[in-house]
Amino acid sequence: MSNIKYTVNGRSVPLSQFGDEMRKGIETLAEKTIKRIESARCPAHHQGPKNIRIEIEGGNVRWTFEKCCDELERAAAATLQ
């Protein structure tokens, strides 16, 4: 059996734990992204986004949410810059 270790999320883990560590990292990234989007406010209507959804597939991340107008979408995008 190989003793190769992989560094994931700043920790050295064996291959048998690699998938779990990657999943944890992706979940943490999604939570942080949602919090940043939640902090956005529409400059015209003073509302925040509702029903935020994050989809991560391969190397692609897509986020959607209910919005009052396009200004809120721009404000949310600015929080991710």
Task: Give me the DSSP letters along 20-76.
Answer: HHHHHHHHHHHHHHHHHHHT---TTT----EEEEEEEETTEEEEEEE-SSHHHHHHH
Domain limits of the chain?
5-79
CA distance 9 to 16: 15
| pLDDT number for residue 2 | 59
| Statement: residue 65 has pLDDT above 80 | yes
Q: pTM for the complete prediction?
A: 0.75
- Note the pLDDT of residue 72: 96
**Euclidean distance between CA atoms 63 and 11, whole angstroms:** 28
Instruction: Taking residues 45-73, report their average pLDDT.
Output: 91
Band of pLDDT at residue 79, cut at 50, 70 and 90:
very high
Q: Name the residue with higher pLDDT: 14 or 69.
A: 69
Averaged pLDDT, 32-60: 92
